[in-house]
Amino acid sequence: MMKHAWDNYRQYGWGHNELKPIARKGHSTNIFGNSQLGATIVDALDTLYIMGLHDEFREGQEWIDKNLDFSVNSEVSVFEVNIRFIGGLLAAYYLSGQEVFKIKAVQLAGKLLPAFNTPTGIPWAMVNLKSGVGRNWGWASAGSSILAEFGTLHMEFVHLSYLTGDPVYYNKVMHIRKLLQKMDRPNGLYPNYLNPRTGRWGQHHTSVGGLGDSFYEYLLKAWLMSDKMDTEARKMYDDAIEAIEKHLIRKSNGGLTFIGEWKNGHLERKMGHLTCFAGGMFALGADGSRDDKAGHYLQLGAEIAHTCHESYDRTTLKLGPEAFKFDGGVEAVAVRQNEKYYILRPEVIETYWYMWRFTHDPKYRQWGWEAAQAIDKYCRVSGGFSGVKDVYSSSPTYDDVQQSFFLAETLKYLYLLFSNDDLLPLDNWVFNTEAHPLPVLH
Ligand code: DMJ
């Protein structure tokens, strides 16, 4: 599957950010700006390396060496470029030892730094790589920055300071943490929106899915990546998770544990595909949890994995919808037409993999295999892999996008699920939110 995805991108989309596997041409979205930055190459490198696809890896390295140029007049998402490009380049560097990846990661990080020039030091969502001018998404509550965006820089920036000896990156992310620590949190929850000019929260929405997700993930992973020395991060994670469990996690009438979304004091009984990563996060954070609640968190991870598997199993294609409800007799099923799509996302398989590593219960391999077969059956087209618009339809239509995270995450987690535990052991490696492994800094 990786060969099929890569070879088609190589043939039809080379150098573009992503591939349109049906039109057989390059694809890009506004998160990458208007330049051809080869997002799929950078995102896929470590997967190629891990799978032993060394010729493909070398081709990618050569393209990066000769063509990847960040001095372009292009406005990109700071978060996306950090998790996919900086994370991807750093992982490729650590795995292969090739200096070019480190050099490019540091060059790119320098281009992101102007995004932090705000009255509070909370970065803008977007920055122009050439001019350094930053701004926020027009749709985000009252000019706010997004929790999952400014809160998902820590792992990569700590590594950048470690590799360069320059504290500037570390200082930027620690400043964000200190600021967050000082703020009041409604019901102990972190709202998704924070205004970088005023330092005030925007709308009181809290989510473990889109807009919130990887902020919580990075608190836990900052602690793991520091060889468990960063106890401040662990405490913030424990506090946040306790509040989430109290206010957002519920059991449906049918006995499925789900994580809802908190909107101005009201719990929306809806869970996103993105939220399904949390099963793996709870399992990963079980060891070291407060009050010896390791068993509890491993169980919670297992329950989320089960719920997310049900969201797949209750569809025609056996692929999960973007969001599913637990309301009025509906259980783990999408209701609105615009929530029925599957865009090759990794989160459910990611959780299967973590649960497999921690329990070795064969059902996780079984579930991963079901998902792999469904992707191969319904998302494979002759020009690559495509997302599908309706997982409940027996004749689905395609969205014609091969997302870069399909190669970075979905296929990597599947491969790891069927590999031995000594391939990237979790005692030595921590995966960033785009599945790029970074070493623990002992
Ligand atoms: C990826 O880019 C990352 O996993 C991110 O944290 C969330 N969204 C996508 C995949 O669904």
308-320: average pLDDT: 98
Cβ–Cβ < 8 Å for 412, 372: no
Q: What is the whole-number distance in angstroms between the Cα of residue 210 and the centre of ligand 1?
A: 9
Atom of ligand 1 nearest to the CA of 403: 10
Q: Which residue out of 409, 411, 432, 436 has the highest number of ligand 1 atoms within 8 Å of its CB and is therefore the one to mutate?
A: 409
Q: What is the whole-number distance in angstroms between the Cα of residue 434 and the centre of ligand 1?
A: 6
151-161: average pLDDT: 98
186-197: average pLDDT: 98
Residue 332's region, left for phi above 0, alpha for psi from -120 to 50, else beta, is: left
Cβ–Cβ < 8 Å for 250, 299: no
Q: What is the pLDDT of residues 349-403, one digit of tens each?
A: 999 999 999 999 999 999 999 999 999 999 999 999 999 999 999 998 999 999 9
Alpha-carbon gap, residue 91 to 136, rounded angstroms: 28
Instruction: Name the residue ranges covered by the structural domains of the chain.
Output: 1-439
Residue 142 is predicted with a pLDDT of 86
Ligand 1 atom 10 nearest Cα: 345
pLDDT of 125 higher than 90: yes
Percentage of the chain surpassing pLDDT 90?
Answer: 98
Catalytic (active site) residue 322: yes
119-134: average pLDDT: 98
Q: Where does 1-439 sit in CATH, by number?
A: 1.50.10.10
Ligand 1 atom 11 nearest Cα: 345
351 a known binding residue? Answer: no
Task: Exactly one of 18, 43, 75, 80 is catalytic; name it.
Answer: 80
Q: What is the pLDDT of residues 255-282, one digit of tens each?
A: 999 999 999 899 999 999 999 999 999 9
Alpha-carbon gap, residue 131 to 72, rounded angstroms: 9
pLDDT of 252 higher than 90: yes
Give the model's confidence band at 137: pLDDT under 50 very low, under 70 low, under 90 confident, else very high. Answer: very high
Question: pTM for the whole thing?
Answer: 0.98
Q: What is the pLDDT of residues 415-439, one digit of tens each?
A: 999 999 999 999 999 999 999 999 9
Residue 396 is predicted with a pLDDT of 87
Q: What is the whole-number distance in angstroms between the Cα of residue 346 and the centre of ligand 1?
A: 8
86 class by beta-carbon count within 10 Å (0-12 exposed, 13-18 middle, 19+ buried): buried
Q: What is the pLDDT of residues 24-35, one digit of tens each?
A: 999 999 999 999
Catalytic (active site) residue 347: yes
Mention every residue, 6+ apart, whose C-beta is less than 8 A from residue 363: none
Cβ–Cβ < 8 Å for 17, 88: no
Q: Which residue out of 349, 353, 405 has the highest number of ligand 1 atoms within 8 Å of its CB and is therefore the one to mutate?
A: 405
Q: What is the whole-number distance in angstroms between the Cα of residue 136 and the centre of ligand 1?
A: 19
